[in-house]
Structure 1
Amino acid sequence: MKKTVIVITIISVVAVLICLKASLYVVDVRLQAVITQFGKPIRTVTEPGLYGKVPFIQEVRYFDKRLLEWTGEPSDILTRDKENIGVGTWARWKIIDPLRFYTSLGTEARGQGVLDEVIESAVKNVVSAYTLKEVLRNTNRRLEYTTKELEEAEDVKKVLIKMGRDNIVEEIRKMAARALESRYGIELVDVRIKYINYVEAVIPKIYDRMRSERIRIANKYESEGRKEEAEILGSMKRELERIESEGYRTAEEIKGQADAEAVKIYAEAYEKAPEFYSFTKTLETYESTFNKQTHFILSTDGEYFRYLKSFRHEGKPAQD
């Protein structure tokens, strides 16, 4: 009898514990809950704590209350100025109406799928309405370029930023948020463009265009270099000719002065001793004109032979 009472007591306690566990639930500070009865939602719990429910009839569906992360796939978009780009975006969202979220989607995984559709659609609609420069830049701040030619090419385009990237991103967020909050109970807290790049199909063409621009700039530098080289070589040649001309003129002036000085000296010497001067000049002439192979046929009364007539050979006077 006692054993039966003990077993019944144990069974009763276990049943009470099971019922108690089935009738109580805890909502964590990070979560919020939707209570359903036979699959139909009847209330929501957003504050943390210990709560009760009808066991075996009512169920608890938990949803995260924190900021959740969403990262989208790259979207191929054609901008207003016909630039084909790939745009990658990310977002932060949270569930602000768990009841509406549960009735429309049911799970967070399906919520991620809805975000894929809504945000990517908003990105395409908004970005395609603006030029690439508007999507890339925020202000009309003058950019710094590595070459003057690139800066001049940018000035020719006359880029004017009216909207700017931050405002475009905010427009994307508002467009997507309106669709998400009213229908799915989702608040889109923030949206950001992660990267912008040209699509793979047009990247080779972009590189070719950049290469052509660089080649054009290089050819311009090369042309200017050849022009400056020709000017430098021409200036150097003119300077060299001027120096040579001045040097030749100076040399001729010095030679002229030296010849005049020599003539002056000769004249002064001739005036002082004309016979001696005539004699020495005649001897110099002999020295420069005679050698062992020289044969002269001269008249004995010639001027050239005048000093030879007085030459004494072996102590005898010369004969006329």
Structure 2
Amino acid sequence: MKFKPILIVVIVVLGTQFGRPVGDPKMEPGLYFKIPVIQQANYFPKILLEWDGDPGKIPTLDKTFIWVDTFARWKIVDPLAFFQTVNNEVGAQARLDDIINSAVRNFVTSYPLIETVRKTNRELDTFEVGVDEVREKSRLGIVTTGREKIARGIKDQAQPKMEKFGIELVDVKIKRINYVEEVQKTVYGRMIAERKQIAEKFRSEGQGEARKIEGDRERDLKQITSEAYKTAQEIKGKADAEATQIYAQAFGKDPDFYSFLQTLDIYKETMDKESSLILSTDSEFLKYFKGYKGEQ
């Protein structure tokens, strides 16, 4: 089974004769008649219509120039008044331009920048503000009205002026706010400086943590080295003690042989090709060379 799309157009019809309204506007569906050629049917939509304003350069209360872009939704509630005053949607858009833009300018110039930009006093998170000093600065501007209330104020100020045109202003919103080029440079410079301040803080904290880790490592290394040296000295001491004990035992069993081995060690340490010794033949040092001449 195939479905065909159905276009439903909700309209209001106002009859005119030679350009002048005839009868009441036809607000409800039904069968109506007009005199051909003499009378004409004028159609007006009952749906919500759109107004999209052009961005305007406006100074705030604290003398900061910004671009403000707004949009609105409106509808025709009195077709007769609408036809007699603005005639059609093009004329209505021109009236909306004048009235809404004037209200926007009045409200934006009456509040500081922070009221127009922000709608709550939500505290910026650590990603947006990472330094205590910067966070403290962000708290200096307290939002008392906010962006949404300003938008409602614009609507409330503009609506009474629209009634004589048979128009109801349903809603007004601030679509976009942007700094002018001169202010952008200042704001971006301040943002860069704050980011650098935050980065420097993190860098300083990182360097401090690195030095702490390095200090802990050096301390642990010295402790391990000290303990290893202590253990090595204990092992060496035990080995020397055992060697001394072995030497003593050997000396006790054969003192002459022990003396002979000790003397040979001394010969090895003192006599080489580069050394010259002048000793008496009666020296105790050469006693083991006596009586061995010519013998193998």
TM-score by length of 1: 0.74
Specify the alignment match of 2:166 in structure 1: 185
2:287 paired with 1:306: yes
**C-alpha distance 53-301 of structure 1, shift in aligned 2 (>3 A):** closer
2:84 paired with 1:103: yes
Structure 1 regions of 5+ residues with no counterpart?
A: 1-27, 316-320
Return the alpha-carbon distance in structure 1 between the equivalents of residues 273 and 40 of structure 2.
Answer: 146
Give the alignment partner of residue 155 of structure 2, picking from 152, 173, 182. 173
2:171 paired with 1:195: no
The 8 Å contact of residues 90 and 192 in structure 1, kept in 2 or not, is answered as: yes
CA shift at 1:93, angstroms?
1.5
1:258-310 Cα deviation digits (max 9, x unpaired): 33332333233223322221122223334444567876554333212323334
Q: What aligned pairs does 1:141-290 form with structure 2 within 5 A after superposition?
A: 141-146=122-127, 149=130, 153-158=134-139, 159-181=141-163, 183-290=164-271
**C-alpha distance 76-295 of structure 1, shift in aligned 2 (>3 A):** closer
Instruction: Select the structure with the greater relative contact order (CA < 8 A; seq sep ≥ 6).
Output: 2
The 8 Å contact of residues 10 and 45 in structure 2, kept in 1 or not, is answered as: no
2:24 paired with 1:44: yes
Return the alpha-carbon distance in structure 2 between the equivalents of residues 108 and 118 of structure 1.
Answer: 15
The code of the aligned residue for 2:151 comes to V
**C-alpha distance 41-284 of structure 1, shift in aligned 2 (>3 A):** closer
Larger radius of gyration: 1
**C-alpha distance 82-279 of structure 1, shift in aligned 2 (>3 A):** same
**C-alpha distance 98-293 of structure 1, shift in aligned 2 (>3 A):** closer
Specify the alignment match of 1:88 in structure 2: 69
Specify the alignment match of 1:3 in structure 2: none
Indicate the SS of the match to 2:130.
helix
**C-alpha distance 241-147 of structure 1, shift in aligned 2 (>3 A):** farther
The code of the aligned residue for 2:192 comes to R
Q: What aligned pairs does 1:69-88 form with structure 2 within 5 A after superposition?
A: 69-88=50-69
User: After the TM superposition, which of the residue ranges 114-123 and 303-312 deviates more from structure 2?
Assistant: 303-312
The code of the aligned residue for 1:170 comes to R
Q: What aligned pairs does 1:24-63 form with structure 2 within 5 A after superposition?
A: 30-36=11-17, 39-41=19-21, 43-47=23-27, 48-51=29-32, 61-63=42-44
**C-alpha distance 310-43 of structure 1, shift in aligned 2 (>3 A):** same
The 8 Å contact of residues 131 and 201 in structure 2, kept in 1 or not, is answered as: no
Specify the alignment match of 1:20 in structure 2: none
Specify the alignment match of 1:123 in structure 2: 104
CA shift at 1:107, angstroms?
3.1
Return the alpha-carbon distance in structure 2 between the equivalents of residues 214 and 228 of structure 1.
Answer: 21
1:47-66 Cα deviation digits (max 9, x unpaired): 34454567776655444333
CA RMSD of the aligned region, Å? 3.2
Return the alpha-carbon distance in structure 2 between the equivalents of residues 299 and 191 of structure 1.
Answer: 124
1:173-205 Cα deviation digits (max 9, x unpaired): 111101111x32211122222222223442233
**C-alpha distance 111-150 of structure 1, shift in aligned 2 (>3 A):** farther
1:107-161 Cα deviation digits (max 9, x unpaired): 3211110100101111121233233443344433444342651686345432543
Structure 1 consecutive aligned stretches of length 4 or more whose deviation exceeds 6 Å: 54-57, 292-295
Query: Taking every aligned residue pair, what percent have the same amino acid on both sides?
Result: 46
**C-alpha distance 213-303 of structure 1, shift in aligned 2 (>3 A):** same
**C-alpha distance 141-299 of structure 1, shift in aligned 2 (>3 A):** closer
